[in-house]
Amino acid sequence: MQSANTVPYDAIVIGASAGGLDALGIFLPILDVRLPVPILIVQHISATSDSFIITYFDRLCKLKVKEAEEKEILKPGHVYFAPPDYHLLVESDKSISLSNEEKVNYSRPSIDVLFETASWAFGNRLIGIILTGANWDGAAGCELIRKSGGMVIVQDPKTASIARMPESVIERLNPDYVLPLKEIGHLINKIFFLTPTR
């Protein structure tokens, strides 16, 4: 694995909506246990959802999966899901902030809120990934990530359960990569010069 000062990015943010749990179930287990950055995820879910998805993905993945907590400092190799009915934000000190302010793009949590605050915190050292979904949440956030010099990866709309969210990003900007889910996972491992563990 690369030393800390040669790791090319500092964090990964992911947005998913309709069909997202199935997509994440394919993508997340591919990621190497040695991944040297935190991953933050907004999955559009019901405000009354329980902790099932955290338990499910923690068992499924090599990385540690948990629900994001207020003022928590981000740790490498951890996957943080936005809690139901809370926006997930990244502060300038790389800590987590949660907010129940008004919905953005009809959503709380909102992908744009995560992507935009993470872009402000990490600048050109951020990777943003948009997966399947039925609306345009995340498109503005991806645009800011690109303007800040970060990388944007989009699930190939032809492979998405609902193509609209990936398409909305592609219509707004030219992503660095448009790939099927498994290829996105392998690309992330390759970016960090990791070889898959058995």
> What single-letter amino acid sits at 73?
I
Sequence-ordered list of residues with C-beta below 8 angstroms from that of 57, at least 6 positions apart, any chain = 24, 25, 28, 65, 79, 81
**Nearest alpha carbon to residue 23 among 118, 136, 167, 156:** 156
Token digits of residue 170: 């592609």
**Nearest alpha carbon to residue 187 among 12, 10, 6:** 12
The owner of tokens 């744009």 is 112
State residue 129 phi and psi, 5-degree precision.
-125, 125
Q: Are 42 and 116 in contact (CB under 8 A)?
A: no
State residue 87 phi and psi, 5-degree precision.
-70, 145
Q: Coil, helix or strand for 155? A: strand
Catalytic (active-site) positions: 17, 44, 137
Burial of 7 (0-12, 13-18, 19+ CB in 10 A): middle
